[in-house]
Structure 1
Amino acid sequence: MELFSEIEDVIVEEIKKVFELDYFSIGTVQFGGIIIVCMVKFKDETKLNSQWKEFNSYLTAKFIPTVKDDYSKWNFYVFYFSNNIVNKSLKYEIENNKFSSRKIVIDNCESITATEINNVISEHITNDKIQINVENKEISTFNKNASLANILDKLSLSKKNDEDMQNALGQIENIFKDEI
């Protein structure tokens, strides 16, 4: 099932002209509303390091104002792909930047295919591959202890008399002491 629906927009051609990119695509994911998803791959890590902020600002200034739906504006993702493992400090800086979109770095990715895009969306947006295993354990039946029941029957819980409660507790403790 295709999660990502690519959209054709003037911004796609503009961005390809302004930035040196190996890959760029913008589209939507239907998940509780329309989520805007941008996939981008710079030529190398040096370009990623020097241009990701400018790219993000350009996209925010040129594309986001055309989006009319508030849900989509608040649920805007940019995935930065890289062939190599991205430097931890750069990855941290990108992913923790709170301006305009949720940014995620996908490193060590040779090619951006429809399968890869669906996997990334599944892992980071829809989480539809999470498997929850609930183990049903056999529960033993409860057996009423006649001695405890007798003590509790004598105790009037509506009164909440401290002396009666202490007396009942003492009797219960004696029963269990005798069993050990």
Structure 2
Amino acid sequence: MSFSIEQLIGILNGRFENLTISYQKVEYNGTIPVFFVRCDSLSDLDANWTLLVEAIAFDFQSQLTDEFQIWNIYIFFIRPAGITDMVSYNSLKLRIENDTFSSRKILVENQRNDDIIDEHIINKNVHFSAEQVAATPTKFAADPLLWSILEEKTLKKQKLTAEAGSAFDQLVKQLKPPRS
């Protein structure tokens, strides 16, 4: 179904009564859709976060046509106040932030929405000194030993090819110090 963002937020807030969901568009090298989710308890968050992510993916993300927006949706889950069980909190944070379905999901401290955006999207908190920016880059020099082993080999990121395995074995042999 196609909803306006205001309608969708109303529907989501009605469906997830223990959560408060808001939305903001961020213009930063394109339009970035950002959802903020506040809740009163860790158990409410734990029980509802996957259902909410699925609803956003189905009702919002699936309707987008701009590739940049599709791949840059953020959902910020605001940490509930008064958490005493940090083990459960950290476990949930790990599950939420490592979930790769549909969007970037981050569990954050209770802050203003603009501060969250500045820290996690725009990175205004990252500062470089003039020396770091003006530093002369180090010139790359290929290692002749590595190059002789890897030359004309096909290496793939996802699967270890026979050539990659053989090259690795050669590197280990040549770089391993001899036994005395």
CA distance in 2, matches of 1:83, 1:40: 10
CA distance in 2, matches of 1:83, 1:53: 17
Is 2:49 the partner of 1:47? no
CA distance in 2, matches of 1:66, 1:10: 14
Is the CA contact 2:40–2:80 (under 8 Å) kept in the aligned structure 1? no
1:63 deviates by: 1.1
**Which runs of structure 1 show a deviation greater than 3 angstroms over 4 or more consecutive aligned residues?**
none
TM-score (norm 2): 0.63
CA distance in 2, matches of 1:37, 1:45: 21
Residues 89-104 of structure 1: pairs in structure 2 closer than 5 A: 89-104=91-106
Q: Which amino acid aligns with 2:10?
A: E
* Counterpart in the other structure of 2:162: none
1:129 deviates by: 3.1
CA distance in 2, matches of 1:8, 1:71: 18
Is 2:68 the partner of 1:66? no
* Counterpart in the other structure of 1:83: 80
CA distance in 2, matches of 1:11, 1:17: 10
Is the CA contact 2:31–2:69 (under 8 Å) kept in the aligned structure 1? yes
* Counterpart in the other structure of 1:168: none
Is the CA contact 2:13–2:19 (under 8 Å) kept in the aligned structure 1? no
* Counterpart in the other structure of 1:124: 120
Give CA-to-partner distance per residue, 1:96-116, whole Å, 9 cap, x none: 000000000013x2xx6xxx1
CA distance in 1, matches of 2:10, 2:34: 16
Residues 102-117 of structure 1: pairs in structure 2 closer than 5 A: 102-107=104-109, 109=110, 116-117=112-113
Structure exhibiting the larger radius of gyration computed from Cα positions: 1
Change in 2 beyond 3 A, CA 1:99/1:8: closer
Q: Which amino acid aligns with 2:100?
A: K
CA distance in 2, matches of 1:21, 1:29: 26
Is the CA contact 1:21–1:40 (under 8 Å) kept in the aligned structure 2? no
Give unmatched runs, 5+ long, in structure 2.
Answer: 133-180
1:50 deviates by: 0.9
1:11 is matched with which residue: 8, 27, 32?
A: 8
1:8 deviates by: 4.5
Is the CA contact 1:20–1:42 (under 8 Å) kept in the aligned structure 2? no
Residues 140-159 of structure 1: pairs in structure 2 closer than 5 A: none
Q: SS of the counterpart of 2:25? A: strand
Is the CA contact 1:25–1:39 (under 8 Å) kept in the aligned structure 2? yes
Q: What RMSD, in angstroms, separates the aligned Cα atoms of the two structures?
A: 1.9
Q: SS of the counterpart of 1:50? A: helix
Give unmatched runs, 5+ long, in structure 1.
Answer: 1-6, 137-180
